[in-house]
Structure 1
Amino acid sequence: MPDSIFSLEGRTALVTGAVYGIGFAIAKALADAGATIVFNARSQASVDRGLAAYAAEGIDAHGYVFDVTNEEAVDEAVSTISNAVAPIDVLVNNAGIIKRIPMTQMSAAEFREVVDIDLTGPFIMAKAVLPAMIERGGGKIINVCSMMSELGRETVSAYAAAKGGLKMLTRNIASEYGQYNIQCNGIGPGYIATPQTAPLRERQADGSRHPFDQFIVARTPAARWGDPADLAGPAVFLASRASDFVNGHVLYVDGGILAYIGKQP
């Protein structure tokens, strides 16, 4: 419905790192709502894989090679996209990495790499698109946060630090640029069933669930892992006119895990 407040007809959305997984699911949802999709990856091979995946879904996406941590490359890419496709109306900062290493065994270089991609990258991307959004009278920025924006867990010190920082960057962008009709919000996926988490959900040799699978299902009121499609509605909401007075918020799509203390033993 083009006249729906959830319609993204005529909007251009840049979703970073959206070759597969959560980023791809978000981009597909935005495309289904009418948006033109642009994505990036760090190699042409990855961009080509992404283009093929979008084409298989009937989506005419535009892929570009650049690294979100390279400010000069980002500025050049944003300018190219604006001229070759259209100005960016919606930015989704999805690109990210995680290194599961105990803190005492993690090098400072490894810590910095995670923070650089997961926190500095969104800063660079937002900084690149904000001037044109201000000039054009508004825009949407969605930062892919995490339950680790709120919680700690073993082996993810760098990731938790970066995602906690991303939550506060989200709030600060909202505070600083809300006056220009720019809404910056976060989306916080819970544990999502993707190819990357498949090994954690495999049945054991005796037919029992993987211990981590058991832990997540028991810890989640919905009693299941999330599906990438569960992110579709929240992403469209945060990208559309429906969220024009929602700013600086992190919408957790976690099946209720953050609200739940867990089952009594």
Structure 2
Amino acid sequence: MPELPEVETTRRGIMPHIVGQTVDSVVVRNPKLRWPVPDNLPELLAGKVIESVSRRAKYLVIKVADGHLLIHLGMSGSLRMVSNNEPVKKHDHVDILFSNGSCLRYHDPRRFGAVLWSEAPVYEHKLIKQLGPEPLSDDFSGSLLYRLSRNKSQAVKTFIMDSHVVVGVGNIYASEALFKAGIRPEKPAGKISKARYERLADCIKTTLAKAIKQGGTTLRDFVGGDGKPGYFKQQLAVYGRAGKPCIRCQSPVTEIRLGNRSTFYCKKCQR
């Protein structure tokens, strides 16, 4: 599943190619995504100039004068810039064609993503307004994690993956950040000190920033806006390394299930 770094990589990849461009037409081949693509999307976008491309959590927000296009990549979605005569593949569901001959193409084999329209301020949208802070913003800190975690018995890994606490800390990056912070993923969130949460918040920030810089994580379904895979997988310390030696102590990396997700950690380095 594309996580925050993959979505941010996509945003940075497509933004220079579409901001300032005029939409010529929109082709919707299959409107049946997680939520239906609006029937009138072609009429809403035709002739509009793209003003900006931003991101909130894992939603891409494409702004025009009178509204916003919200795009979520779901579990297998991708956005790529192609020429308007690029052959269509089986799971190419939506094309936004521009007057300069380029095309922004939405591809999603599992169809669990979304292409939605909103005329209201984007931060008031029902899918966005209840989300927690961005992890790379000043609003996110160890003090916040400490305050929100008091009296919580849930595992710290599922706690930091809760989008109402902080957005964008997906399964891979949660495992990696907890390893860097030396915290066991199954430890109750309410039992962790403020000092350790300060360390964890810093590790979340550095882990995500590094992943963004390197283009996201190479997953089977993910490609960036240029169609190339990410490269952060080469740097993973624990995720997907069950049974392999820990990069710090050489003890075997352990895999468990938390919240129905694979979780990786080192029993010796994390406590």
Question: By the TM > 0.5 criterion, same fold?
Answer: no
TM-score by length of 1: 0.27
Query: If you compute each CA radius of gyration, which structure gives the higher value, 1 or 2?
Result: 2
